[in-house]
Amino acid sequence: MAIIGGLDAPTSSYMMQTINIFKIPQLTYGSFAQEEFQSTKLSSLYCMVPNENYQYMGVIQLFLHFGWTWIGVFTFETKGDHFLRKMQLLLLQNRICVAFIQKIPEHINLENFPELFVSITITSNKLIDQKASVFLVYGDSLTIAWLRTVMVLHDPENKESTLFRKVWILMNTIDFILTGFQRSWDLQLFHGALSFTVHSREVPGFTEFLQVIKPSTHKDGFLQEVWQQLFDCIFSKANLPSTLSGTCNGEENLENLPAPLFELQMTGQSYSIYNAVYAVAHSLHEAVRSRTQAREIQRVEFLDLQPWQVLPVSLCNDACSPGYWKKRAEGKAFCCYDCVPCPEAKISNQADMDDCFECSQDHYPNKEKKGCILKPVMFLTFEETLGHSLASTSVCFFLLTSWVLGTFMKHRNTPIVKANNRFLTYTLLVSLQICFLSSLLFLSQPGKVTCLLRQPTFGITFSVAISSLLAKTITVVVAFMATKPGSQMRKWVGKRLAFWAVFSCSLCQVCICILWLSTSPPFPELDMHSELQEMILQCNEGSASFFYCVLGYMGILAIASFIVAFLARKLPDSFNEAKFITFSMLAFCSVWISFFPAYLSTKGKAMVAVEVFSILSSSAALLGCIFLPKCFIIVLRPDLNHREQLIKRN
């Protein structure tokens, strides 16, 4: 009614070709690729174990779990072709390299000794490969017997090279064939191999059955042959080769045999036969229809094992440590590579990374290029030396300007103060005070309000200061022209001209700043790219065009003041300030002309320091050139501060 058998693919195939004619079902318990048998819908072959292809993925998962990427493969010459086609594709997809593929001869021809010697030598060289620590074996019992024989021939004493310090992975559960002359060999190999086995369960009564079964009680020729091979003995009536020694009494105990020779527990293959028998029995019992239940193939799961607990490392070369990346070695498999340090600004935080990567914008690589460090936020502050120096200078000049203003107010009725338009003098001094104080806005932590006030305050106060100087120069020119008989300029002499000159010139700058703040105002931002190891908190000007418009308008006022003062420097007027204004504008323009290249060539805190220095130096130039000579006369030479000194003759 049915046939149970066929461990390997060829046997099952031959049987199928014969019994297919009679529609006799064959239940095979072997694990092999089933594509060739599924080509016809009339196939009478029923497999009791899952398709072998599922085991291939299990092998891949095992390799990936333990990081094995340099694998040696042993397989039969012809039977392993399908396995190699499938496995090589999976290995390539998962970036696992094959160190070698050694095919084992299916038949050993002892007569052709030279060829046999070459085959043994090649296989022996593969076994002692220094880099491949994992061997994948696809074959049956003869494959293991051949490899075991090569091991013994390589090391007759069989002491340290039994395993060759390798991990053996067997694709199938192999029924080991150990003949009499192999029984004395070390069995450590079979304890050190990993095998993919078919699912099995404990069958009640099976172990007890094995414990009582004996040739003396079970008259079975097959059992006697197995008994003689297991215990390396002969029965008195058996015609066996003389290589076996000892006489079998039939009462030997199977429990005394080592596990590689015989197991008291049901193996996966035996369990498949057990299931096949019951499948046939249930089918006959039902006799109506065959019910096939899909077997769920579960993902291979591993316990929390570490490689150092179980198995060695199997790599083409040593793993690249963090801080390095894998550069493929020319002319070698992709599993063979050189370890190259990560380039600047990149890291690798794991071993064997294909490439280095950049840290996030707010981090920078550590010295070893193994990790990222959070960038500190930096800005020019009062606490550091540069900020402290600039702030102290700003306060000192503010106090000096306040002393000058106080001095002028105290001596406001003296001729030297009255002769130079007190309104313009006070306006200029107050604007210089604010200019010095505005530099402190650049030294504080950039915030929303701070960034809004920085540039407009600086631009407007400087415009007022330069407008005051321009008004002073215009006043001198108008006063000189008003002295001519019949001149119409006399009505412009006085505070009205000075006021409107300062107001109109400053109003234009105010309009520019209002338009700037209403359309594209400055705002605080973090600059993460200018410096590698720090983030710079700074004010984004919002619109660079408006920023340069503010500076440009100041430049126009300064140039106009310089030109008018230069033309009026030799006018015959008492206490003529045109010369001093000319020098002050010359110093002012020199500072701000040098400001642009310095400002554009610096970044971060240095850029802020350049602007603060320019504000302080240009303001100090105005204060020194305009008021230092007057303070000298008021404080140190009061005898010159009289009306008689105002009358000069050509």
Q: Tell whether the model's pLDDT for residue 596 goes beyond 60.
A: yes
Q: Stretch 204-225: mean pLDDT, rounded?
A: 84
Tell me: pLDDT of 170 over 80: yes
Q: Token pair for residue 524?
A: 């605080």
Mean pLDDT of 186-207: 76
What band does 494 get if pLDDT is binned at 50, 70 and 90? low
Examine the pLDDT at 398 and tell me if it is beyond 90: yes
Give the C-alpha separation, 630 to 424, whole Å: 15
Instruction: Please report which confidence band the pLDDT of residue 534 belongs to, taking 50, 70 and 90 as the band edges.
Output: confident
| Arithmetic mean of pLDDT, 250-275 | 82
Inform me whether the pLDDT recorded for 303 exceeds 60: no
pLDDT band at 241 (very low <50, low <70, confident <90, very high): very low
C-alpha to C-alpha distance for 286 and 289, rounded to whole angstroms: 7
- Both tokens of 4, joined, read 């149970």
Q: Does the structure show a pLDDT above 70 at 159?
A: no
Burial 393-406 (b: 16+ CB within 10 A, else e): bbeebbebbeebbe
User: Is pLDDT at 290 greater than 50 in this prediction?
Assistant: no
Q: Give yes or no for residue 515 having a pLDDT over 90.
A: yes
- Three-state SS for 273? helix
Report the distance separating Cα 393 and Cα 398, nearest Å: 9
Q: What is the pLDDT of residue 270?
A: 85
Instruction: Tell me what the pLDDT averaged over the chain comes to.
Output: 79
Rounded CA gap, 177 and 183, in Å?
Answer: 10
What is the pLDDT confidence band of residue 122, given thresholds at 50, 70 and 90? confident
Task: Note the pLDDT of residue 91.
Answer: 92
Q: What are phi and psi of 441, to 5 degrees?
A: -65, -30
Rounded to two decimals, the pTM is: 0.53
Highest mean pLDDT among 82-91, 137-146, 570-579: 82-91
- Please compute the mean of the pLDDT values over residues 149-160 and round it to a whole number: 64
pLDDT in tens, 30-46: 766 656 555 455 567 78
Percent share of the chain, pLDDT over 90: 10
pLDDT at 308 over 50: no
Rounded average pLDDT over 57-85: 87
Q: What is the mean pLDDT of residues 180-199?
A: 66
Average pLDDT on 391-419 reads 88
DSSP E strands in 132-222: the ranges are 134-138, 167-170, 193-195
Lowest mean pLDDT among 205-209, 401-405, 491-495, 537-541: 491-495
- 427-448 tens-digit pLDDT: 889 999 999 998 888 888 888 8
